[in-house]
Chains A and B, each alone.
Chain A
């Protein structure tokens, strides 16, 4: 399942994350999933919400740098090896995972959920849904190397 995730630029300073969350709270927006990637100077807040376009518009209006990034969402059965199964499909197809984070749904739901950002979204989605199978990397690295040198 392809999900439109929002990526928000947040400076690595006290109160900056609270500013974003405050805006979401004011507009009664529920965060379905989130993760933060951080460096010494800044972080990237990644969130999954209902109606991402609308939320992007709201955050933009509040002065944030926001981008919509399509990612893959997977619902996993709550048992050992279920994530491995999906990830190995991607790796044998040579799809690179840029980042991954997990989130929980409500307590009655026995499923785990993960969000993956990959370098080939369409292929990843087809592999995970079982629509296709791959045994070798989709990219032929030999072709990427020029056959001449300056």
Chain B
């Protein structure tokens, strides 16, 4: 069995890695300054020239990019290659109904496949593996990202996509699936359904899980490993950077190795923007060093993590990020879908012409996330008839599920019943014990 997919890259000495990163950084900054209007104007605002970037440290001089920049430049404003070179577009949900769009050149797809293949090998897969990909295929990067990596590796791919759990389990048994790729909460749901169907996961060939796209904790890992009798590996990625495969756990399971020859990580203080030293918790900021279609310079992921650069017991020298420890914004991930409280606010504005106080309550019922939206009833929304209020609830519910792509229970509550701090309603209560 392979230990590494790309040994030279994954075990490169620090000095060599730094010089590779420096060279690539200078190259991409120069290219963006010359060819990409958005980045050029961002640099000009700071009075920066590509020549100002001499060492890796100099990356600090460059401004951050946020999801808002992507929205402001919807859909293709951040692309750095002509559409004739773009071979694929993916998108994730945005706060105002506008998705954030990412584009890939042929070479980008190659890089993505490479880092995804590295990830699968680090997680213990090989050519002999049979991987069932139960991430959604389509605009979401999860399905196709792992798919291309697994094919490059030479594993047998079952591109089943998400949903239809009974069928997932039937094929898992019949096809001899050895690895399952999906969200961790879906893995638990599959385990529960197997129990209900009277199937012992240990009698299947399933040995490994590649789980990501939503936050999960060590406790959840233990539950999945115990219930499915497998090794559960954490994979990290985000469409803005490339998709799944930005970082992966190795057999040591002590942090996720970032493919830093392609994605340069920094940890910053989310409030001041100051770069923090290794070992300190802060917001992960990523720079793509090789991407062509839509490079990202200092993209603020909003994910909180810690970086460690010591060599890992697995032999990799690639920097490790801790499991994601939370978010520095109010984004929620519900059943793998990104949800922002402001999306709910927009829906309520649209329905009632007013912006009532509201609260999102996220719970895990069984193994699935459940979203309840409490809405404080205003006099404008209030009708004297039960039917009218029920119609209002149904209308809000319908709009929410179409905007969020996640279904929600809507409950009307009385004024001032939602807890407030400093006059502002507490928007989110996450009761999930991950």
Contact = CB atoms under 8 A, between A and B. Distances in A.
A37 B386 CA distance: 7
Describe A's contact surface by its main secondary structure: strand
A132 B111 CA distance: 83
A103 interface: no
Given A11-B413, A41-B412, A65 B385 contact: no
Given A65-B379, A67-B379, A99 B385 contact: yes
Interface stretch (B69-77, B261-269, B340-348, B414-422): B414-422
A16 to B, nearest CB: 7
A16 B413 CA distance: 11
A136 interface: no
A98 B377 CA distance: 21
| Size category of the binding interface on chain A | 20 to 34
Interface string B396-434: 000000000000000111111100000000000000000
Nearest to A63: B416
A39 B411 CA distance: 11
B391 interface: no
Interface in A1-51: 7, 9-11, 16, 37-39, 41-42, 44, 46
Contact of B382 (A7, A38, A46, A63): A7
Given A9-B412, A16-B414, A39-B390, A117 B384 contact: yes
A99 B390 CA distance: 16
B411 A64 contact: no
A7 to B, nearest CB: 4
A37 B389 CA distance: 11
A114 to B, nearest CB: 17
B370 to A, nearest CB: 16
A49 to B, nearest CB: 15
Contacts of A16: 414
Contacts of A38: 386
A38 B385 CA distance: 10
Contacts of B411: 41
Contacts of B386: 37-39, 44
B394 to A, nearest CB: 12
A66 B384 contact: no
Contacts of A60: 379
| Size category of the binding interface on chain B | 10 to 19
A134 B352 CA distance: 38
B384 A65 contact: no
B378 to A, nearest CB: 7
A54 B39 CA distance: 62
A95 to B, nearest CB: 16
Contacts of B416: 63
Nearest to B385: A98
Contacts of B389: 9, 39, 42, 44
Contacts of B383: 67
B377 A9 contact: yes
Contacts of B377: 9, 65
A120 interface: no
Contacts of A67: 379, 382-384
Contact of A7 (B384, B414, B415): B384
A69 interface: yes
A65 B378 contact: yes
A53 B351 CA distance: 28
A46 to B, nearest CB: 7
Interface of B: 377-379, 382-386, 389-390, 411-417
5 nearest CB pairs, A to B: A7-B384, A69-B384, A63-B416, A37-B386, A65-B382
Given A7-B382, A39-B389, 20 more contacts: A7-B384, A9-B389, A9-B412, A10-B414, A39-B386, A39-B390, A41-B412, A44-B385, A46-B384, A60-B379, A63-B414, A63-B416, A64-B414, A64-B415, A65-B377, A65-B378, A65-B415, A67-B382, A67-B383, A117-B384
14 contacts: A7-B384, A11-B413, A11-B417, A38-B386, A39-B389, A41-B412, A42-B389, A42-B412, A46-B384, A63-B416, A65-B378, A65-B415, A67-B383, A67-B384
